[in-house]
Amino acid sequence: MIDAEKILILFFGVSLLAAIFAGVSRQKVIVRAITLLYVFVHLSFTTFCWFHLGETVFDFFTLDHLGVLLLSVLSLLSLTTVYHGFIYVKNDPPRHYSIYHAALIALIAAMSGAYLANGMTTVWIFVEATTLAVAALIYHDRTAIALEATWKYIFVCSVGIALAYLGILFLGFTVHDTRLLHLSFTNITAIAKMANPLYLKIAFVFVLVGYSTKMGLFPMHTVTVDAHTVAPPPISAFISTTLMNVGFLAIFRIYALFSATTILPFMNHVLMLSGILSLLVSAGYMLKAKHNKRMLAYSSLENMGIVAIALGIGGIGYYAAILHIVLHSLTKAGLFYQIGQSYKVMGTYQLDESGNYMNLYPAGATALLVGLLCITAIPPSGMFISELYLLKAMVHGKYYVYLIITSLILCFVLYALLTRVLHIVFSQPRTIPAHIKEKVNPWQTVTQYFLFSLVIFVCFVQPAPFRTLIETIIDTLPK
């Protein structure tokens, strides 16, 4: 049997070398080859993890079901993101081209480490690494607004993960057994059993607020919205899906560890409140959004709010949360790829300058409409199933007030998305954009149709292994 420790060392070693060689090379052909090779290395590593589920490596990494599931989503979206990235940066200077792909490789490796991390210290290291890699990618276009968004992202995310770690350290100060001061998730379970409930509540709030910078939840959502708006479309697709999954995973792990204590009702109320506020903020800003990418960024905030509410409701809501986070990743990535193509065709991201997309690029317009159905959870979208499970969990738990509030806010979100996307596809532009327009090869839209087809497939069929996987992830949570 292949040694898991050697494979893990090999994976991170290859990641480091690939990032370095891609960064120093000024030959685009070589950089492309290195990036493609790395994507296939990542796919191989993910496959290896599936065959070694449950193993703990070096005490710092555990190949658990949720981590490997999200790692698989990352592998799939790495393929599509690299493909669209090649198209986006093909005319860039060699130096910018190299930095872009080096940072992308570093980001993929850092997110992989965060998914599999078995301890708050390990998570902290890899999450901070994602911050540095994303910062380089946000600044790729070298504009003044990109520079502002980059510094804002670095500062707020660094403060956020410091707050998250401070919450866990606060728990550590209450423990006199030095053997527990290594903050692995196993040790945190032991700490939680002996800690004062007040300390647990403080720790959970710190973790939730801190990692909200990555997950994109209220109150730390603004930094992710700005990043999605400014970054290149393939990177926006990445950080609004796989990187948000990093934040979700960090919060979920602490929630799962603390769920066996007396603070479970407190955590549930905090999550539901944060989720409702996220929905409310996203609906308000979406109704006045005039920038197409910013509209999708607020849609990500809305969907993370749904995930937080589902987690807080519990019961079948746990299943809904995991299913929703996976399907949102596929849908939102496809939408950001498509908005990037619409920019080329229409020459703008501004809503008032957008329009007539169906006549300009029918393949892209159709993909945008399919993506609209998927993200708004309209059948045959698989997200209809996850949101239906959420509403069912609310009824079963008798959370009628949350049910009414959530339903009303989602109606406003639905209205905002429908009116804006339908304007882009069918209406004439209110003003004429001054930017140069390009033609897009319809083959570039195949990736979006593929991702959306997966989401639609789940609406009709949830394969037994997939259902069993999610049920295994939530099996330890309170019923």
Of the candidate ranges 111-115, 187-191, 321-325, the one whose mean pLDDT is the lowest: 187-191
For residue 317, pLDDT over 90 is answered with yes
Quick one: pLDDT at residue 199? 83
Of 257, 283, 308, the domain-final residue: 257
Q: Is the pLDDT of residue 176 over 60?
A: no
Q: Which of 290, 443, 279, 448 is nearest to 372 (CA)?
A: 448
Q: How far is CA 4 from the centre of its chain?
A: 27
Provide the whole-model pTM: 0.94
Position 65, amino acid: H
Residues 22 and 103 in one domain: yes
Side-chain half-sphere CA neighbours of 455 within 13 A:
33
Cis peptide before 265, with omega less than 30 degrees from 0?
no
CA atoms within 13 A on the CB side of 399: 23
For the cut 70, the answer to whether the pLDDT of residue 73 exceeds it is yes
Helix axes 197-215, 264-286, angle to 10 degrees: 30
**pLDDT for residue 435:** 66
Segment 311-334 mean pLDDT? 95
Contact 132, 143 (CB under 8 A): no
274 in the same domain as 222: no
Q: Tokens at residue 71, please?
A: 């790692």
Grouping H, G, I as helix, E, B as strand and the rest as coil, residue 61 is strand
CB 74 within 8 A of CB 108: yes
pLDDT in tens, 91-103: 899 999 999 999 9
Question: Within this chain, do residues 278 and 303 fall inside the same structural domain, yes or no?
Answer: yes
The answer to whether residues 245 and 268 belong to one domain is no
Same domain for 217 and 268?
no
Contact 77, 107 (CB under 8 A): no
Which run of H or E residues covers position 57?
strand 56-57
Q: Residue written as tokens 């299943």?
A: 319
Q: What is the pLDDT of residue 382?
A: 93
Number of domains, the chain: 2
pLDDT tens string 400-453: 999 999 999 999 999 999 999 999 999 888 887 666 677 888 899 999 999 999
How many angstroms separate the CA atoms of 189 and 193, rounded? 6
pLDDT bucket at 182, cuts 50 / 70 / 90: low
356-366 pLDDT, tens digit per residue, is 899 999 999 99
Residues 225 and 276 placed together within one structural domain of the fold: no
Position 274 scores a pLDDT of: 93
pLDDT at 197 over 90: no
Mean pLDDT lowest among 2-11, 163-172, 319-328: 163-172
Range of the domain at 113: 1-257
CA distances from 114 to 123, 128, 244, 353, 405 (A): 5, 10, 12, 40, 34
DSSP per residue, 363-409:
HHHHHHHHHHHHHTT-TT-THHHHHHHHHHHHHHTT-HHHHHHHHHH
The predicted pLDDT at position 433 comes to 67
pLDDT of residue 121: 81
Geometric angle at alpha carbon 221, from 146 and 188, rounded to 5°: 120
> Confidence class of residue 107 from pLDDT cuts 50, 70 and 90?
very high
65-69, 113-117, 194-198, 442-446: segment of lowest average pLDDT: 194-198
Residue from 424, 284, 293, 419 nearest 364 by CA: 424
For tokens 């639609």, the residue is 456
Averaged pLDDT, 291-305: 92
Tracing tokens 């209809």 back to the chain, one arrives at: 384
Residue 233 contacts residue 88 (beta carbons within 8 Å): yes
| Domain end (from 234, 257, 280) | 257
**132 and 163, same domain (yes or no):** yes
Tokens of 105: 């490789």
Say yes or no: 226 and 296 in one domain. Answer: no
Rounded CA separation 452/220 (Å) = 29
**Binning pLDDT at 50, 70 and 90, where does residue 454 land?**
very high
Q: Are 161 and 127 in contact (CB under 8 A)?
A: yes
Structure tokens at 236: 């926006």
Report the pLDDT value the prediction gives residue 268, as an integer from 0 to 100: 94
Distance CA 111, CA 320 (A): 23
Answer yes or no: do 245 and 267 share one domain: no
Q: What is the pLDDT of residue 248?
A: 94
For residues 116 and 49, the answer to whether their CB atoms sit within 8 Å is yes
The average pLDDT across 64-87 equals: 95
Same domain as 250, residue 277? no
Tell me which of 204, 233, 257 is where a domain ends. Answer: 257
Q: Is the domain of 218 the same as that of 304?
A: no
Does one domain contain both 193 and 313? no
